Structure 1
């Protein structure tokens, strides 16, 4: 039986989540699949179109 509003994450408890966030901020490379896809897609668009996107 689950208790509403209460959840537990082993990754957060061990500190994996915060370590990944620190690495991503320091390097500028996202650690999530969606973040990587967005970054690569933006780079490809910049190469094809040849202009910078607004942030």
Structure 2
């Protein structure tokens, strides 16, 4: 069994180290399309609700 020593507040993200996070944030900002699952679900849900409850 692998024991991991965890130090509170100290972590390493290989995605951040490679710059993937920054690229994803830039794409999301420029296109207006979220790159996270929760963000995408929220955007789709809001669009559906607007379509249903749109006043004419």
TM over 0.5: yes
Per-residue CA shift, 1:6-55, capped at 9, x if unaligned?
Answer: 1000000000001000000000000011111111111111111005xxxx
Max Rg structure:
2
**What's the CA shift for 1:5?**
1.7
- For structure 1, which runs of at least 5 residues remain unmatched after alignment? none
**Partners in 1 of 2:23 and 2:15 — Cα distance?**
10
Q: TM-score, normalised by structure 2?
A: 0.83
- For structure 2, which runs of at least 5 residues remain unmatched after alignment? none
Aligned residues: 51
